[in-house]
Structure 1
């Protein structure tokens, strides 16, 4: 008679375990890339009340009959993971991405050197693509684990090197700042003469030499200069659109000044130095203080040569990125020109897993290619803390490949994967599980009442 109680208790335990699974699914309904679990029942142990026998055709023999069995309730058969892809959710971070397929990200602690065997690496698998860049230029997830993939092969992935225009130097161009002569009409302006070009200024003091040069620049920047620094209507298309002046010292006594000239067509910057003639502090004056010129300073103009004026030297073309076949932690590469890592300002992740960055110079820099891991039997993975999986002994073949849009999937940048929990299904399962739990508890109650009747009969 107590077998029914044993079966009821077993049913209570099994339904309680299923309710635990349902509760965990509902608790993670908003967990990125969470994969729901399903609880599967199986019959409990059986005992034979009557064993089965086979029939006999001999005279006087009886035919066969089936076994009569009594079960002892239900128990856990398996808890399986549903690995279907969750819905995409937009993210404001361009480094976030999701896998549209069956693959997994490869993440974990630092592995020295390159490798190609995922199982022996000791790394974890993940479906959550919340990625950032740490202070050392490595790509990491939000738990601080390094993200693994394929680095650009050395010598590839270099951006185009801008042109640097050829130049010639025209020397010994005199510079002179003069105040109005005595007896000049009121409002007569101070003048500055550079390269034989005399320009009215707005300055009223010898201490405003820098402003006077700027006035000269404002005028000349709209004009054309020949190879001797003289203004001409045309000079092979050369057009100065910007000239900045910076001086070592501002005031009456100046040691040097620098003119930075940008040619419109070439788009390059040319520096020129105004050097002082003579020695001593007075010999370095760039002005005529009204008592005659003191010193004869000169300016060197640096401008594009005629045949390179519009295009400069040949560009060094960029080299398309090729990615290694072995796995390494993804890291921002080093700029061969500066010896420093590229200063990436914005990011983009393509469908094939390639990570492209844009640096301060608006150049596109290939950073690496994210690896996806193909698992033959995903239900053989073992769940770890957080959202990591470890490779179990029943996973089958585990292989890292480059995203190709096949079964392993492609990457969707700026997107995260939502949980694949079906709330409607979970609530219906919760109702049936609750009713099953109640029914099993009722079995225990009825069995207890029958035992009580039996005890009362003895009295």
Structure 2
């Protein structure tokens, strides 16, 4: 059998997967926090017809003669370049200018967490900051303890919060019904307004939005719903305040959109389509040659 038949099949399979990845990228062109995929190919085994020889004083060297046996997919990378920012002027819409990810949890603690760049958060009926799937957006205090962020009332003074804002370091600035201004804080059991002008002010209790920086973002695993799961190849998971892990800055009223470039994707789609067609033509040509060989007996 002609090796080109199998080489053509391997090429068609590879370009089919490439088209699948491109289709997913295009489908998520407007998905908040989406990171595009990229397919990289590599060749398969090579059959050596004759090996190379070393040059000497009597004879020159000869290059090896090899016939390739097709291609395969080397990697399907997730590209973590920044997406375009979109201004929404919604206070709970957040974007990170930097390498950090937001940390969310379905349980409200740091034992079962996911990372995300999708900062389209809202407050639930109890005033807790959640994502679009109902996962709790985690906050963190100075000792690294994680908890949900609840922006409802000063549970120590019994005063409701009337307004709030989130600064570039992820701290939540709140105003209560008496007009007092301070940072949202957590003392281990209750949320309260921490006023720097009052006695007993403790900066270590100030609550800020938890972030995480990993050494190898490409090692994160997509689990759907714009969430990533930390794998062993992602490296160290530096969890904490964004100013401590050097993860960048947080912007309020802004969302990070998809990093998909339609111009690039449609160009790659044309290349993948033509590559698929070329490999299909290789198979039909090989089939014609085999037909001629079979007809030799007639």
Structure 1 segment 88-167 matched on structure 2, within 5 A: 88-111=85-108, 121-151=111-141
Residue 399 in structure 1 maps to residue 238 in structure 2: yes
Residues of 2 paired with 1:126 and 1:348: CA distance?
21
Q: Which residue of structure 2 aligns with residue 329 of structure 1?
A: 148
Q: Alpha carbons of 1:405 and 1:30: their partners in 2 closer, same or farther (altered >3 Å)?
A: farther
* Residues 32 and 419 in structure 1, CA contact (< 8 A), matched pair in contact too: yes
Any conservation in 2 of the 1:34–1:419 contact (CA below 8 Å)? yes
The SS at the match of 1:458 is: coil
Size of the alignment, in residue pairs? 275
Unaligned runs of 5+ in 2: 185-206
Q: Deviations over 1:195-239 (max 9, x none)?
A: xxxxxxxxxxxxxxxxxxxxxxxxxxxxxxxxxxxxxxxxxxxxx
8 Å CA contact 2:41–2:75 kept in 1: the answer is: yes
Structure 1 vs Structure 2 CA RMSD: 2.2
How far off is 1:148 after superposition? 1.1
Question: Is residue 36–residue 420 contact of structure 1 (8 Å, CA) maintained in 2?
Answer: yes
Structure 2 CA distance for aligned equivalents of residues 140 and 365 of structure 1: 22
State the shift of 1:111 in Å.
4.8
Unpaired segments ≥5 residues, structure 1: 113-117, 152-322
Is the partner of 2:224 in helix, strand or coil? coil
CA distance in 1, matches of 2:230, 2:90: 29
Indicate the structure (1 or 2) with the bigger Cα radius of gyration.
1
**How far apart, in 2, do the equivalents of 1:336 and 1:347 lie?**
18
Deviation at 1:92, TM superposition (A): 4.4
Distance 2:49 2:246 in 1: 52
C-alpha displacement of 1:324 = 4.7
Per the TM alignment, residue 52 of structure 1 is displaced from its structure 2 partner at its CA by: 3.0
Report the equivalent of 2:181. Answer: 364
Q: Does 1:85 align with 2:75?
A: no
Query: How far 1:36 sits from its partner (Å)?
Result: 1.0
Aligned partners of 1:7 and 1:325: how far apart in 2? 54
* Distance in 1, Cα, partners of 2:55 & 2:292: 41
1:416 aligns with 2:255: yes
- Once residues 103 and 84 of structure 1 are traced to their aligned partners in structure 2, the CA distance between those partners, rounded to angstroms, is 12
The 8 Å contact of residues 38 and 80 in structure 1, kept in 2 or not, is answered as yes
**Contact 1:352 1:405 (8 Å CA) reproduced:** no
Give me the whole-angstrom Cα distance separating, in 1, the residues matched to 2:221 and 2:155.
41
Distance 1:337 1:358 in 2: 13
CA contact (8 A) 1:45 1:73 kept: yes
Deviation (angstroms), 1:9: 0.7
Q: Cα distance 1:427–1:405, how it changes in 2: closer, same or farther (>3 A)?
A: farther
The TM-score, its normalising length taken from structure 2, stands at 0.85
The Cα shift of 1:407 comes to: 5.1
